[in-house]
Amino acid sequence: MTETQLYLISPLDVGGDFPQRLERALVAGRGLVTAFQFRVKGVDQHHAATLAAPLQAICAAHDVAFIVNDSVALAKRLKADGVHLGQEDGSPRDARTELGREAQIGVTCHASRHFAMEAGEAGADYVAFGAFYPSTTKDKGSAERPEPELLEWWTTLFEIPCVAIGGITPANCAPLIAAGADFLAVSGAVWGGDEVSAIEAFAKVMRG
């Protein structure tokens, strides 16, 4: 089994000192953090591209994949490493046509085995299940909460990597690692406090 890795998701505010915070997190998470998702809401594409530029450069310097949330057009404009699609953001097939063979395309599948299998058939590079725990970033209130067994089922049957998402902290991530999550997607647990000590706390659980 491959070692679980961290997939950082940006806070909605990536201005100010956030580039420095990202740099510190990636230095602390060398070998542990392998992807970063750029997730901003309610800004036009030009402004989003301006915000993304320094973060994309930091990710490139640390060999961390830079993934754009929701927008295939923005991912194409930035020549990002990939795009993360919600269920309403179009098909992985169409994204592949737009972004090319090398792009990493991920799909949010909530607690649905059906969505995950559909995403795999449509050529997704990874599927994301969640929210496993209450989360300010991803909680849709009534959305069904998956159990760690879902990760176990997926990894037993399919080669495509799976990402666990939603309210994940160093204190509650062990069952998800044990169930076979390839990646833990984290946001609040890292950016809500000191990012370096948060990454170190995750490393302690994930690497022993």
Of 1, 151, 143, 161, the residue nearest 65 (C-alpha): 161
Residue 206: is its pLDDT beyond 90?
A: yes
Bridge partners, 184 (sequence order): 6, 164
CA dihedral sign of residues 133, 10, 81, 46: positive
- Tell me phi and psi for residue 122, to 5 degrees: -85, 5
pLDDT at residue 7, as a whole number: 98
Please, what is the average pLDDT of the chain?
Answer: 95
Give the span between the Cα atoms of 153 and 20, in whole angstroms: 39
pLDDT at residue 144, as a whole number: 82
Residue 100: is its pLDDT beyond 60?
A: yes
Average pLDDT over residues 37-49: 96
Alpha helices for the chain (secondary structure H): 18-28, 45-61, 72-78, 92-99, 113-121, 148-157, 174-178, 188-191, 195-207
Residue 2: is its pLDDT beyond 90?
A: no
User: For the chain, which residues make up each domain, given as ranges?
Assistant: 5-207
Residue 158: is its pLDDT beyond 80?
A: yes
Residue 78: is its pLDDT beyond 80?
A: yes
In CATH, the number for domain 5-207 is 3.20.20.70
> How many CA within 13 A on the CB side of residue 30?
6
Give the span between the Cα atoms of 59 and 56, in whole angstroms: 5
Residue 50: is its pLDDT beyond 60?
A: yes
Of 154, 208, 143, 144, the residue nearest 183 (C-alpha): 154
The confidence band for 141, taking pLDDT boundaries of 50, 70 and 90, is low
